[in-house]
Amino acid sequence: MNYRHIYHAGNFADVIKHCVMIMVLSHLQQKDGGLGILDAFAGLGRYDLTADAPQKTGEYKSGIERVMLAKFTNSDLAAYQKAVRPFWKRGRYPGSPLILAYKLRLQDRMVVNELHNDDARTLRNFMNPYPHVQVTQEDAYQAMRAFLPQKNMREFVVIDPPFERKDEFEVLQIEVEKALKKSSTATLFIWYPVKAGSGADVMIENCTKAAQNKGLSRVHVCEFLQFPRDQIDTFNGCGLLTLNAPFTLFDRVENFRTELCAALGYGEITQRWLINS
Ligand SMILES: C[S@@+](CC[C@H](N)C(=O)[O-])C[C@H]1O[C@@H](n2cnc3c(N)ncnc32)[C@H](O)[C@@H]1O
């Protein structure tokens, strides 16, 4: 486990992931019933952007720094900015566990899971103030199998692997299929990198087939590209695949994509329904 998210915290990939994650969550929270959330690859929970690692890469400067300097008219972008601002003021960036924890309602519960020893310890400290959050330290896919299905709760699972393993895309699609067998109503939110020949397209196709087999009515994908999708040997962008996506997701992404790319000063966001019935 060599991947350390602190080098990348607040970069464009975090920005797009967390914006869309908040959109999905806010839709799921429109219903009063409790929500069970699993953040399967949780990371540290909070990142000090003044530390050596993010200063060395400077990735946050072309991501969250530009977003925080922008004035948005779009309400989803404004909501994201609002979630980040208290951290940003102190030179910090919130990871997915803290962004989600801030938005929990009394009836919601969350499990945040991180395998790395040091990161899991840090995460535990950051999550201490949140009584509705349980921190676990196991393999993410094991955590997913244990989490699904939730009794009397709708489920939202955030799957954000580091893609260190060569077979991550294959494992991911197998585990998504297993997850849908355990709960065909869970909303699964998957982050993936866009690189030429990476296996992302096969993963998307197989997850869509699994979703079709289980009768899901909505699967959505959106991608942020900083370089052409098939450019060789570069990190061209990232994608978000949402199974059991909210019906509002397409319009919400449509409404924010131009404004977000203008704030970043580069890139484009594309999206489509893979299933919409
Ligand atoms: C991309 S980072 C997570 C970032 C976080 N989701 C966020 O948005 O703030 C991926 C994390 O998964 C952890 N990880 C790697 N392999 C894992 C595994 N098999 N199970 C659980 N966590 C794992 C890494 O230590 C890393 O902290």
CA dist., res. 53 & res. 7, Å (int)? 5
H or E segment and range at residue 24: helix 12-28
* Digitized pLDDT (tens) for each residue of the chain, 277 residues in all: 789 999 999 999 999 999 999 999 999 999 999 999 999 999 999 999 999 999 999 999 999 999 999 999 999 999 999 999 999 999 999 999 999 999 999 999 999 999 999 999 999 999 999 999 999 999 999 999 999 999 999 999 999 999 999 999 999 999 999 999 999 999 999 999 999 999 999 999 999 999 999 999 999 999 999 999 999 999 999 999 999 999 999 999 999 999 999 999 999 999 999 999 9
Quick check: helix, strand or coil at residue 241? strand
In sequence order, what are the residues at sequence separation of 6 or more whose Cβ sits closer than 8 angstroms to the Cβ of residue 50?
91
Is the beta carbon of 95 within 6 A of some atom in ligand 1? Answer: yes
Q: What are phi and psi of 256, to 5 degrees?
A: -110, -15
Dist. CA 137 → ligand 1 center (Å): 11
| Residue pair 273/219 in contact by the 8 Å Cβ criterion | yes
Q: Would strands 268-276 and 92-94 be described as parallel, antiparallel, or unpaired? A: unpaired
Quick check: helix, strand or coil at residue 184? coil
Is the beta carbon of 116 within 6 A of some atom in ligand 1? Answer: yes
Q: Look at residues 186, 166, 176, 180 and name the one whose alpha carbon lies nearest to residue 245.
A: 186
Tell me the best of 114, 123, 159, 235 to mutate to test the pocket of ligand 1, counting ligand atoms within 8 Å of each CB and taking the most.
114
Which amino acid, 75?
S
Find the radius of gyration of the CA atoms of the chain: 17
User: What per-residue confidence (pLDDT) applies to 1?
Assistant: 77
Ligand 1 atom 6 nearest Cα: 42
The answer to whether the bond into 94 is cis (omega within 30° of 0) is: no
Which residues is 48 bridged to in the sheet? 92
Which residues is 187 bridged to in the sheet? 156
User: What per-residue confidence (pLDDT) applies to 56?
Assistant: 97
Ligand 1 atom 24 nearest Cα: 43
Which amino acid, 240?
L
In sequence order, what are the residues at sequence separation of 6 or more whose Cβ sits closer than 8 angstroms to the Cβ of residue 250?
220, 271, 273, 276
User: What per-residue confidence (pLDDT) applies to 66?
Assistant: 98
In this structure, which CATH number among 3.20.20.140, 3.40.50.150, 3.30.420.270, 3.40.50.2020 belongs to the domain 5-276? Answer: 3.40.50.150
CA dist., res. 19 & res. 261, Å (int)? 13
User: What per-residue confidence (pLDDT) applies to 19?
Assistant: 98
Residue 21 is encoded by which pair of tokens? 């994650």
For residue 195, the 8-state DSSP code is -
